[in-house]
Amino acid sequence: MLKGLMMDTPLAISALIKHADRHHGDAQIVSRRVEGDIHRCTYRDLHRRARQMANALGTLGVQTSERVATLAWNGYRHMELYFAVSGSGAVLHTINPRLHPEQIAWIVNHAEDKVLCFDITFLPIIEAIAAHCGTVKTWVAMIDKDRMPPSKVSLTCYEDLINANSDRYEWPEFDENLASSLCYTSGTTGNPKGVLYSHRSTLLHTYAAALPDALNMSARDAILPVVPMFHVNAWGLPYVAAMTGAKVVFPGAALDGKSLHDLFEAERVTVSAGVPTVWQGLLTYMEANHLKFSTMNRTVIGGSACPPAMLRLFQEKYGVNVLHAWGMTEMSPLGTACTLKNKHLDLSPEQRLAVQYKQGRVIFGVDMKIVGDDGGDLPWDGKAFGDLLVRGPWVLRKYFKEENVDPLRDGWFPTGDVSTIDPDGYMQITDRSKDVIKSGGEWISSIDIENVAVSHPAVAMAACISARHPKWDERPLLVVVRKPNAQVTKEELLKHYEGKIAKWQIPDDVVFVDSIPLGATGKMLKNRLREQFKDYRLPSA
């Protein structure tokens, strides 16, 4: 074998911040803080403080591969920890504060976090869990000395840690397969599972995510990640931003329509990313106040299916190109992104939209296939649907602390999603396998039913779940939240389906509710709804 003769430089997260400092040192990181103000710094400042924090972690006794947790909003301190913790060889464990405190304590104990850094908003959670989290030696409040909250838990001040430590720090070199960060799945069934990323997987994901046919990020962008940094590393955006040198705008805790729109405008944001439920709030606010975007030109929508009506509204009314993307925690998270090919450029606007509704093509590095019940490959004809399997260098191989269980199927990771793939390689999610409605042996996509519902002007949110039926086993039941002051009856809504989907797929009944329960990452909790409506008697039953 003739080996290549190129340098064997290990891929390391610290290289990202070094690069951003060296080549984009004056690019800005803007944060709306828990202090209530807008904070500005640069990549140079952020790198300096990350080095100070890396020294501080050393003084706290954090060793290579030990876990340092965060419970924090999107902001510059959180980003400093992204680089200080992973860059120094420890593991950054980002925790979702929207989980129940008991679940947070379970995760902290499972991860054996040694240090936990939190925004003071979350002090009540810390006070609820501290006594049950024996592995945590230091609780760090991410604030300055003057604003340290009184607490029965002994707290360390983040800014004191920074100030007390020198910025002289050389990022260590290590094997690129060293664990860098840890993220738990939402765990809608059973306990959450830990997904342990490495420096290598993170860097490869970052290169791929930045590509023009993926997230398409550059030094000319101002990125506002609405997707939280506790949700699969904000889909990798802090790393992508550092790699490209883009300006970053962090929204902190204010994710309502007005706060977001104000920030988009004031900071001349060009691109954003988030789940459909967040955009729903923003669009409702903008419509009510007749607002436009002056610089925003595109947004990434993923986490759950982007309703076609939302995609159309963004593009046609607001001039914001929508990038529909699909992925999961186990995939770092990016798997597919929906961008057009050269051959699509001559399509009519309607035909282009039909392509854009899909979850998209794999980004290079990810391999995907769909299989039937017998495990055999299904054709890529845009019609056959089956279990979606993936593999690649940023796809999970084993869950953390479950190394004796093989979650793969012949080396492929089963995503739990059901999808089609068309001849051009565009994947479209039909459903989460547990959400699909099995009506008399035929499958009905709950996503399709919901998309039609939210295209009705009076509907704010809709979830389609299965209800028991004596003849068909399951039939679709539509649960709907109306827009404020909007009126629509069950009959009108069902009529809205005519001609849009096959007759037998039209829901059997509609119930109007005040709200639909959302999970910790902003997705509709359909298992909660199924539980709530488990004894529901359909009029057709």
- 329 scored as a contact of ligand ADP (CB under 6 A): yes
For residues 364 and 434, the answer to whether their CB atoms sit within 8 Å is: no
Return the residues of window 230-269 that contact ligand ADP according to CB under 6 A.
231-232
- Which CB sits closer to ligand ADP, 25 or 382? 382
Q: What is the smallest separation between the CB atom of 499 and ligand ADP, expressed in angstroms?
A: 24
Size of the site for ligand ADP (CB under 6 A): 22
Return d(Cα 506, Cα 477) in angstroms, integer: 9
Return d(Cα 469, Cα 464) in angstroms, integer: 15
Return the residues of window 340-399 that contact ligand ADP according to CB under 6 A.
359
Contact letters (x/-) for ligand ADP, 421-460, by CB under 6 A?
Answer: --------x--x----------------------------
* 330 catalytic per annotation: yes
- Which CB sits closer to ligand ADP, 53 or 237? 237
SS3 readout for 415-480:
EEEEEEECCCCCEEEEEECCCCEEECCEEECHHHHHHHHHCCCCEEEEEEEEEEECCCEEEEEEEE
**Binding piece for ligand ADP, criterion CB under 6 A, among 53-61, 414-422, 456-464, 467-475:** 414-422
- 69 scored as a contact of ligand ADP (CB under 6 A): no
**Binding piece for ligand ADP, criterion CB under 6 A, among 12-20, 209-217, 299-307, 499-507:** 299-307
Q: What is the smallest separation between the CB atom of 187 and ligand ADP, expressed in angstroms?
A: 10
- 416 scored as a contact of ligand ADP (CB under 6 A): yes
* 114 catalytic per annotation: no
Return the residues of window 153-192 that contact ligand ADP according to CB under 6 A.
185-186
Angle at 311 between CA 218 and CA 283, to 5 degrees: 90
Q: What is the smallest separation between the CB atom of 18 and ligand ADP, expressed in angstroms?
A: 28
* 135 catalytic per annotation: no
* Cβ count near 190 (within 10 Å): 7
Q: What is the smallest separation between the CB atom of 521 and ligand ADP, expressed in angstroms?
A: 5
Among 76, 106, 158, 326, binds ligand ADP (CB under 6 A): 326
- 324 scored as a contact of ligand ADP (CB under 6 A): yes
Q: Count H helices, E strands: the chain?
A: 17, 25
Return d(Cα 483, Cα 333) in angstroms, integer: 32
- 52 scored as a contact of ligand ADP (CB under 6 A): no
Q: Report residue 100 as tokens.
A: 């129940």
Cα–chain-centroid distance for residue 79? 16
Return d(Cα 189, Cα 176) in angstroms, integer: 33
Return d(Cα 25, Cα 13) in angstroms, integer: 17
Q: What is the smallest separation between the CB atom of 221 and ligand ADP, expressed in angstroms?
A: 21
Tell me the backbone φ, ψ of residue 180, rounded to 5 degrees.
-115, -35
* 443 catalytic per annotation: yes
**CB burial string 117-149: b at 16+ within 10 A, e below:** bbbbebbebbebbbeebebbebbbbbbeeeebe
What amino acid positions are annotated as catalytic residues? 185, 330, 438, 443
Query: Applying CB under 6 A, which residues contact ligand ADP?
Result: 185-186, 231-232, 302-305, 324-329, 333, 359, 415-417, 429, 432, 521
